[in-house]
A and B are shown apart, each in its own frame.
Chain A
Amino acid sequence: MPVTTRVTPEGPRRVWHRHTPQERLRYALGWALGVLVLALCWRLIAAQTTWLFVQDAPRQAGDLFSRMLPPRWSYAPTLLRPLWDTLNIATLGTLLALLVATPVAFMAARNTTPHPLLRAAALLIIVVSRSVHSLIWAVFLVYLVGPGVFAGVIAIALRSVGFIAKLLFEAIEEINPKPVEAVRATGGSGLQVLTYGVVPQVLPAWTGISVFRWDINIRESTFLGLVGAGGIGLQLNASVNALAWAQASVIFIAIFGLVLFSEWVSARVRGAIT
């Protein structure tokens, strides 16, 4: 705690400071650097922006809302099938991801991996899967398997594998080693150690992670249709391209409802297991 002496008319006074002078210099330099980076970034964006359009934005926004309201409710029944498709993309994609991610997680966890080389391979799968957004996966899959729900399911699965495997392998690495040792001490085989020592400890985490990812996947599967991978995003894309904003607002409301539903389910399940 640095204390300096300051001369005042009433005599010397000791003043407390939170930081030493060196610390203050470092903070000031850090802030200056941050502001500089921010200013440079902003300049780049400003240069790429057509300000004429931005000035026009309030009028455009007003125009947009007047076209969106009232929502064309008669359009709602046509959304039932796309909503079902969206739900399927998220759910089947999550299930498919679980099938792949669970063994990958056991290979990636330091305490359950059969071989360091397999661990490296599992970590590579996790990194590639996690770093690429599901919409980008969808772009590739629409090219590979054609447009439709199937491409969406695979895209969601490919993105979720990394997410689920990462959280799961971290949970596996954090387990209590004592039950594992106890099962091993009774002469359990490798598989028995896994099923009786490890699995019961990570099962709640596994369930929680699955539901958590499913919740995220519902949200993501609402827009995969933008690139043709099925679900309600297809209708959104069509309505926006046709400037049918009264339909788009019905779709927005449908997405809102679906996401709220998935959050409610996910909160219920996570509440039940903890």
Chain B
Amino acid sequence: MEKYKVVVIGGGPAGLAAALESFKILDDKKVLIIERDKFLGGILNQCIHPGFGLHYFKEELTGPEYAHRFVEQVVENRIEYLTETHVIDITPEKEIVAVNKKGLKRIKADAIVLAMGCRERTRGAIITPGTRPAGIFTAGQAQRLINIEGYRIGKKAVIVGSGDIGLIMARRLTLEGIEVKAVVEIMPYSTGLRRNIVQCLDDFGIPLLLSHKVVKIHGKYRVEGVTIAKVDSQLQEIPATERFIECDTVLFSVGLIPENELSKKAGIVLDIKTGGPVVDNTFSTSQKGIFACGNVLHVHDLVDNVTLEAQIAGRYAAIYSQHPELFENNIHVNIVAKEGIRYVVPQKLNKNFVQPFVLRFRVDNFYKDAIVTVSNAGKVLVEYKKSILTPGEMESIEISQKILSQLDFSNDIVVSLQNI
């Protein structure tokens, strides 16, 4: 059986950054990346639009360009990687079973970094009634078909959901000569970034129908149209508001779910809110020596944050592979999301590694003028005021050494939000 210090599962932005960071630290450099697609770079390869790297590189890159900067370093450093290779099993003992054209492969790792990314929710996830003709895609699937394979997927489209991928695809379809009739969003607000609403919809005069849902898909062989309706504050269809829109293509952009089939096999504890593993500030999961980062951990809106997080996971994975004894007696303080906060990552602070870290979180609704506080044992450790908080934008707070020095380790760390 082949042996590696650190094996990274997934060759997207999270996996690449984690592998590079592990590689920097390790003396014997035994790092391996396993990717199921033909190329490294992950979904960034199909994200040909600009807007990546504004925070990390301080310049505006496209997805493939952002990926290239990391792939180049992987190649230059001769970090080992396998493409077109599927990992089908991982065990708590950190044995990996993978399969590719050459057959089955068993690999033993001292530490594993999970970086498998996420999946799109589909029509089934939101239970849209109607027939099942050709012409129904998830937004990301359409993105791959258009940007990499070069297919023309239809002539007139309706997009369901106004997440960033849906908005970006509205622009992409328009540039490809496909008429986008509407973006239909069930919530009273878009979950996409403001810049995408402006540059992808407003620029082309594409209507964004808030508080609307698709109540039926029509068509026998190919989509012939959709029926939409207004919804009330309980998201229930309002009678007599139905309207038919003729189209031959429907794209679903209705959210992403971390892809944790492998994590489950390894017996890793998952967080119901994020859909990803519960981790501490070393990005260690509940299984010692198995770390997680990127969209497999929680769905990010900016790849820049994925990179930063993955570097930390990669660093601690390398430390674990050399000194597992440091993680032997892990004692954790829970970090808990309360009023107004949907989730926090990491969910725990490891007492063996009380080092500054960034707490990332999402709020559960739209808030204007609110204060976010981090408290412990009834004492406010840090607070900050924000004029706008939206569920679509990930927030972060830096937990500094000064804050850590005031901690009472027998009590939870609580993150909450108050309106002013």
Q: Please say whether chains A and B are actual partners in one complex.
A: no
Interface residues of B (CB under 8 A from A): none
Interface residues of A (CB under 8 A from B): none
